[in-house]
Structure 1
Amino acid sequence: MRTLLSVVTGPPTILLTTALVVLLCFWLLVAAGFVSAGAFDADANLRAWGMGGVPVAVAVTVLTAVAWFLSVGGVLLLAVCAPPCATTGLLRMVLPVAALPVAWRLACLFVRPLHRLFPDEPGPPERGEARDHVDRAA
């Protein structure tokens, strides 16, 4: 237990732990009804990142949680299996950073099935649709 607490609160995993705590507070505010889960949807378009179709808060939460689990798991594995030396210390610092791209790919896979749970926002009308709508009104 002491090793887990050391890993979770140690550098650089503490950055992901802090982000996870902030997200937990956000979701508590959502559960209490003070904030909407789609509060950040106007701020970012996640389609280019492969996570479109769900609220930004959901995508960021999944990404952060996956990165945190990969980082903590990898550093715990290093702490248990590798002898303490300079190389292990360097790997301990690099592992959370290396976990981010892997977490992004996994988060894209995890978010993809959630598209069905969130209705798509209507996009701007196509050129032909706008003309048809005007022709029908006349």
Structure 2
Amino acid sequence: MRTLLSVVTGPPTILLTAALVVLLCFWLLVAAGFTSAGTFDADANLHAWGMGGVPVAVAVSTLTAVAWFLSVGGGLLLAACTPPCPAAGLLRMVLPIAALPVAWRLTCRFVRPLHRLFPDEPGSPDRGEARDHVHHAA
């Protein structure tokens, strides 16, 4: 347990941990009805990043959670498999940075099936089809 707390609160994973806490607070506000999941949709278009078709909050939350899990998992694996040395310390510092591109690719794969749940989002493949059916039915 001490190792887990050390990895979660140690540098640089603490940055991802703080981001995860902020996201948790945001989703608690959404659950309480003080804001909505689409709050940031006008601020960013994630289609160019391969995450379009879902609310920005969903995509960023997924990206942050996946990066955090990869960073913590890698840190725990590193702590269990390597003795304390400068090379292990350097690897521990690089791990969260290396987790981000992997988390981005995984997030792109994770949000793709979610497009069906958000048909009104820009970049959703169902959006154009739904509009065509409405025009043909009229």
8 Å contact 2:52–2:122 — kept in the other structure? Answer: no
The separation in 1 between residues aligned to 2:37 and 2:78, in whole angstroms, is 36
Residue 28 and residue 122 in structure 1: after superposition, are their counterparts in 2 closer, same or farther (change >3 A)?
closer
1:74 maps to which residue?
74
2:62 maps to which residue?
62
1:8 maps to which residue?
8
Counterpart check, 1:39 vs 2:3 = no
Residue 84 and residue 66 in structure 1: after superposition, are their counterparts in 2 closer, same or farther (change >3 A)?
same
Structure 1 stretches of 4+ with a deviation exceeding 2 A read 120-123
The separation in 1 between residues aligned to 2:121 and 2:110, in whole angstroms, is 20
The within-5 A match list for 1:41-120 is 41-120=41-120
Aligned length: 123
1:19 maps to which residue?
19
The separation in 2 between residues aligned to 1:61 and 1:114, in whole angstroms, is 13
**TM-score, length basis structure 2:** 0.87
Q: What amino acid is the match of 1:17?
A: T
1:126 maps to which residue?
none
Q: Which has the larger radius of gyration?
A: 1
Structure 1: which 5+ runs fail to align? 124-138
Deviation at 1:119, TM superposition (A): 1.5
Q: What amino acid is the match of 2:68?
A: W
For the aligned residues, what is the CA RMSD? 1.1
2:130 maps to which residue?
none
**TM-score, length basis structure 1:** 0.87
Q: What amino acid is the match of 1:69?
A: F
Residue 87 and residue 119 in structure 1: after superposition, are their counterparts in 2 closer, same or farther (change >3 A)?
same
